[in-house]
Amino acid sequence: MTGATLLEIPMPRLSDQGEEATVIKWLKQPGESVVRGEPLVEIETDKATMVYEAEFEGVLEEIVVDEGTTAALGQTIARAHGTGPPGSPQPAATVPEVASSEGSDRLKPVAAGENGPKSGRSRATPVARQLAAQLGVELAGVEGTGPGGRIVRADVRDAAPPASPAPAEDEVELTPTQRTIAQRMTESRAQIPEFTLEAEIDMEAAAAAREELRTLGREPLPSFNDFVVKAVALALRRHPALNSSWADGRIKRHRQVNVGIAIATDDALYVPTLPDADTLPIFELAGLARSLIKKVLAGTIASDELRDGTFTVSNLGMFGVRRFHAVINPPQAAILAVGEVSQRPAVGDDGQIVARNRMDVALSCDHRVVYGAEAARFLQTLTTLLERPVALVAA
């Protein structure tokens, strides 16, 4: 290709946190043409799985990091012949060099002969070298079947000695998302002086309101959790201390009320955000919540849909859980744990024992930001809103 150079494609930084990411699926194979802006590879970051679009135009030469393999940000994951981003500086030679002030997050040129097949070390891909070290395989005696005779992962596996008997337990390798969750939750428990208040809320009126909306054919029909999120948002407007965060020894009071909803997948926990939840009509809020849940379960949630939350609602009621305490999601100052809505014995207005829909909630707060009395007043407001849900539908 005229004017082309051999480019190193680094692992991109697609998240504002984490130091590594995992290649999920290559959308192009060696030898295929690539157009700038065309989807190149699916990458799992600490936040979600996203598609990385090519920043060059040319031909994909070699895949260095195989699918399912984790690499550090900036580490070379592939090589290509082509031209890089517009505006890149040109070297003295006639072959243009691609560089950027962003450093390892952009394409890097490979000097002629660098990492070529004549080098003993580079006869194997980085993944193959790593696997060889793990399995104790000498690469000098392995015949490569990859492009240009390079040793690939399959060659190392074929040359490895028979595996030893399976251990009595399995070691589960954490994904970048799981590692981030573990780190953040550990920091939360270790650093936040937390206290929790509990309340039982009568949901009889909310249940009746849902049935009336169902009869009227209103769609989407708000769930109990939609009622809770809307009530939380309105309560946060009245009690801004809980719509705050702790950062660098200071309290930040947020002007927007952005309620996050915790959603569990098979191997991770995501908290997409409902921005300005206090201003959203409950039907619009219900529709947006359903859309975010579908994206999380399909693995298509975008990173900007997971940011800027000011308070979190975690609901395990669908699993039959009556009550639990949730871990605060730093730097937020509070989180509400919501249990199931179920028929329970209660004392009626006439003094008789009757069955009523009831729900337990537990409010956990950062004591550096929220004091007990303010948290109690928040729960009072939340209870009033849920026990008189007309205001939630009308707001």
Ranges of each domain in the chain: 5-115, 117-163, 176-394
As a whole number, the mean pLDDT across the chain is 85
The Cα 267–Cα 37 span in angstroms is 31
The Cα 41–Cα 84 span in angstroms is 17
Checking if the pLDDT of 116 tops 50, the result is: no
The Cα 178–Cα 175 span in angstroms is 5
Write down the pTM of the prediction: 0.61
| pLDDT value at residue 47 | 63
The Cα 168–Cα 123 span in angstroms is 36
The Cα 22–Cα 69 span in angstroms is 6
Checking if the pLDDT of 163 tops 50, the result is: yes
- Mean pLDDT (whole number) for 129-133: 81
Checking if the pLDDT of 172 tops 70, the result is: yes
Instruction: Answer whether CATH 2.40.50.100 is correct for domain 5-115.
Output: yes
Instruction: Answer whether CATH 4.10.320.10 is correct for domain 117-163.
Output: yes
Report the DSSP pairing between strands 259-261 and 263-264. Answer: unpaired
Checking if the pLDDT of 70 tops 60, the result is: yes
| pLDDT value at residue 115 | 40
Same topology between domain 5-115 and domain 117-163:
no
pLDDT, tens digit, 9 for 90 and up, residues 252-292: 999 999 999 999 988 789 999 999 999 999 999 999 999 99
Question: Residue 58 in 3-state DSSP?
Answer: strand
Higher pLDDT, 215 or 134: 215
Q: Amino acid identity, residue 198? A: E
| pLDDT value at residue 2 | 54
pLDDT, tens digit, 9 for 90 and up, residues 175-189: 777 888 888 888 888
- Mean pLDDT (whole number) for 31-47: 85
At 224, the pLDDT band (50, 70, 90 cuts) reads: very high
Structure tokens at 271: 């908290």
Domain range 176-394, CATH architecture: 2-Layer Sandwich (3.30)
Q: Which of 5-9, 118-122, 206-210 has the lowest mean pLDDT?
A: 118-122
